[in-house]
Structure 1
Amino acid sequence: MPDLHKTPPQIALRAVYMRGGTSRALFFHENDLPAAGTARDNMILAAMGSPDPHKRQLDGMGGGISSLSKIAIIGPSTHADADIDYTFGQVAIDAAVISYKGNCGNISSAVGPFSVDEGLVKPASTTQAHVRIHNTNTGKIIVARFALQNGKAAITGDFVLDGVAGTANPIALDFLNPGGSSTGHVLPTGNVHDRLETDGFGIIDVSLIDVSNPVVCIRASDLGLSGHESPVELSNAPNLLDRIETVRVAAAVKMGLCCAEEARTTLRNLPQIAIVSPPPPGGNAHITVRMISAGQAHLATPLTGGMCLASAMRIPGTIAHQTAKLPADPALPLNICHPSGTLTVDATLITKPELNIPSVTVYRSARRLMQGEVLVPAHRI
């Protein structure tokens, strides 16, 4: 802790506040932060307003919900095949915890534009940027492709992202070899179908998949749900989210992510929960999902969760595959219906000689919202 008699009451820290997809995050330069560890985490927690027992983060930049309580740390690449390093952090709202396990696909979409706008990456073209991103959380490579305007990431266009008002310039994200991001295997247990013993629902059928992020897939009907409930209805149902949390904890142990105690206390964001049901009639969706992320009913779907779900839809025998109404042409992308609209994902599956997901492609948008300094109370560090 700094000497409070010799330092200002607050410390100014260079930061950029960005929207990436349907999430927002504070972006930091790695060289502006202390080395990874307690001092860095204390600084980030203070900047975000965590922990807050009221779950509002009013004394910081967090928004009181999981999709608005995120940070990104950008630094020079430590990977021979990448232009930049990107570390994602999910900041707990009501606890002094930052989870660096797993990635956020939505925030990934803002990394390329941030890197170009900050001068960390110099595109070869004046009209188009290709940024190769090394996600340090998973060790995976993400390729961001987006248009440039006067040397900066373009923001105007006709791309519509469900859950975000208006139109924007599209950002293509190619997640390369995203399988086994946290566990080392697309199917962490080796099975397309498992049975979990849970405190909230007893024995329940699940599929455990790890593509971009680990996800536990459950039929809505097995939870006593239709699958078309709104996030508000899920949140207001007595004890429902607490019971679903017992599924997440049991799945984290089954997938080999951590022990039950760690799942309850520090690894609170993984695996994500995908509650699936058939798509609504008459539309172009192939499945319906309600996602639970970091203990909250998501207003749309986490991008990594959507990518994992799309991959699971391609794998015969999984609950997602059994529930989905797949297109006749396997080359077509998959449309996932969520509370704010539809997410389209192009997931490539190879089954021989072994199960592999070479790439998953999605489209997002991103925008720099604010730049300057975030003030951190000195006594919090």
Structure 2
Amino acid sequence: MAYLPQVKIPATYMRGGTSKGVFFRLQDLPEPCQAPGEVRDRLFMRVIGSPDPYSAHIDGMGGATSSTSKCVILSKSSRPDHDVDYLYGQVSIDKAFVDWSGNCGNLSTAAGAFAIHAGLLDPARIPDNGTCVVRIWQANIHKTIIAHVPVSNGQVQETGDFELDGVTFPAAEIVLEFLDPSEDGEEGGSMFPTGNLVDELDVPGVGIFKATMISAGIPTIFVNAADIGYQGTELREDINSDPAQLARFERIRVAGALRMGLIKTPEEALTRQHTPKIAFISPPKSYAASSGKTVEAGEVDLLVRALSMGKLHHAMMGTCAVAIGAAAAVPGTLVNQAAGGGELQAVRFGHPSGTLRVGAEASQVDGSWVVTKAIMSRSARILMEGWVRVPA
């Protein structure tokens, strides 16, 4: 029996922050995949190797974690004052769907670098040496991201001495500015969808406890670690090896999503796994990070652990870091309280792999809190480039 040969598609495999993904230029995709829909989703799932009942991604480019099961499309932007449009797809590992409901803050770093690598920027905007300012339109959430990408001899400088906990080797620093991240562009509405800085969240089968629910960077539900029986010092294996704990976190996430108006029924959460995120927080404590390095309580303002696609993240999602910075900047939120309270313009938080600093500018406008900008540093580099092949 004859079978069709594989399809060969130009692609670039990149690390951005603590994530990895397969990057495409829109024009390089097969024509049926240049528009959103089932055909594009099927392509991305096959590139990654999903759905995979073995949760191993042996027959694809994915890494069988939420941090490594991602695809990105970039194209020249048609929007004024923007260079590129950046669309991000979170590919489910064991189920047949691609979640387009949010952004990846880590791969936003790589999007800035890829825009230059892929020839999507006006050459006149790229200095021979210095910093190239890449104006990115994040198409999933309708927000602007500014990436400050170092350039050497007209090319992206990828090597350097910037160290990022959760990434083994140093690289060049890329500074990201998330402009006006305080409202989810897809859903609209307030930065605090319930209208409150702190809510009482009633979770069936779990209990009633306090929560701060925020849409900044990515919709996120923050709860106090102590309220749900944790220290805030947990590592991946402490959570991900216990299906009962993961099921409890999913119930909290679903209850929060309903309160935030992101879903109308609990069943909708099955096809919206990427958002909202669920995170638990604690005042500073000393702990051993996953690398074995000790994070001292005096080094951080608070501790945060966050789940992505149903599992505890090995470090911290970039968009969730934006949510942490935004919530910390607003006096009275659970995040702000855990960090000591008061007016905070930046915090350093501890996560399973180490620490991260994020800054945010918050103010009240007509009685409502808004964040005009969140800033953090990441790094990115090309791991492989050429063509990805998928069965026809």
* C-alpha deviation, 1:154, in angstroms: 0.2
2: CA distance between counterparts of 1:258 and 1:126? 48
**Counterpart code for 2:139:** T
Contact 1:252–1:260 under 8 Å retained in 2: no
**Counterpart mapping for 1:47-62 below 5 A:** 47-62=47-62
Answer yes or no: is 1:294 the counterpart of 2:341. no
Runs of 5+ unmatched residues, structure 2: 287-296
Q: Does 1:183 align with 2:181?
A: no
- Match for residue 149 of structure 2? 146
One-letter amino acid matched to 1:248: R
Query: Could you tell me how far apart the structure 1 residues matched to 2:277 and 2:18 are?
Result: 16
Q: 2:228 aligns with which of 217, 223, 229?
A: 223
Letter in structure 1 aligned against 2:363: I
CA displacement, residues 5-59 of structure 1 (integer Å, 9 cap, x when unaligned):
6x73311111100000000000011122222111111111111100011111111
2:328 alignment counterpart: 313
Match of 2:381 in 1: 367
Q: Which amino acid aligns with 2:322?
A: M
Residue equivalent to 2:291: none
Greater Cα shift, 356-365 or 31-40: 31-40
**Does residue 354 of structure 2 align to residue 352 of structure 1?**
no
Unaligned stretches of 5+ residues in structure 1: none
**Contact 2:6–2:389 at 8 Å: present in 1 too?**
yes
1:241 partnered with 2:243: no
How far apart are 1:108 and its partner, in Å? 0.3
For residues 1-381 of structure 1, the aligned pairs below 5 Å read 8-33=4-29, 34=33, 35-121=35-121, 122=123, 123-127=125-129, 128-181=131-184, 182-184=186-188, 185-237=190-242, 239-280=244-285, 282-325=297-340, 330-331=344-345, 333-353=346-366, 354-378=368-392
For the residue of structure 2 that corresponds to 1:142, the secondary structure is strand
Could you list the runs of 4 or more consecutive aligned residues of structure 1 that deviate by over 4 angstroms after TM superposition?
none
Question: Could you tell me which amino acid in structure 2 is paired with residue 47 of structure 1?
Answer: V
Structure 1 range deviating more: 108-117 or 257-266: 257-266
2:196 is matched by which residue type in structure 1? N
Once residues 106 and 262 of structure 1 are traced to their aligned partners in structure 2, the CA distance between those partners, rounded to angstroms, is: 29
Structure 1 residues 341-361: Cα deviation after superposition (integer angstroms, max 9, x where no partner): 111001111113331111001
When the two chains are superposed, the root-mean-square deviation of aligned CA atoms in Å is 1.7
Checking the alignment, whether the CA contact within 8 Å between 2:126 and 2:154 is kept in structure 1 is: no
Q: CA deviation at 1:250?
A: 1.2
Contact 1:113 1:152 in 2 (8 A): no
- Deviation string 1:315-363 (CA, Å, 9 cap, x unpaired) is 122111222235x8744x2101101111100111111333111100110
Shift of 1:262: 4.8
Aligned partner of 2:222: which letter?
C
Q: TM-score w.r.t. structure 1 length? A: 0.94
Q: 1:299 to 1:76 in 2, by over 3 A?
A: same
| TM value normalised by structure 2 | 0.91
Q: Structure 1 residue 79: deviation in Å?
A: 1.6
CA distance in 2, matches of 1:307, 1:251: 19
Q: Summarize the Cα distance change of 1:72–1:310 in structure 2 as closer, same or farther, 3 Å threshold.
A: same
SS of alignment partner, residue 280 of structure 1? coil
Number of aligned residue pairs: 372
Q: Secondary structure at the match of 1:321?
A: helix
Is the alpha carbon distance of 1:229 and 1:183 closer, same or farther for their aligned partners in structure 2, counting shifts above 3 Å? same
Note if contact 1:159-1:169 (Cα within 8 Å) is conserved in structure 2.
yes
Other structure's SS at 2:9 match:
strand
| Contact 1:290 1:339 (8 Å CA) reproduced | yes
Contact 1:299 1:340 in 2 (8 A): yes
What code does the residue aligned with 2:25 have? H
Q: Distance in 1 between matches of 2:26 and 2:266?
A: 31
Shift of 1:259: 2.5
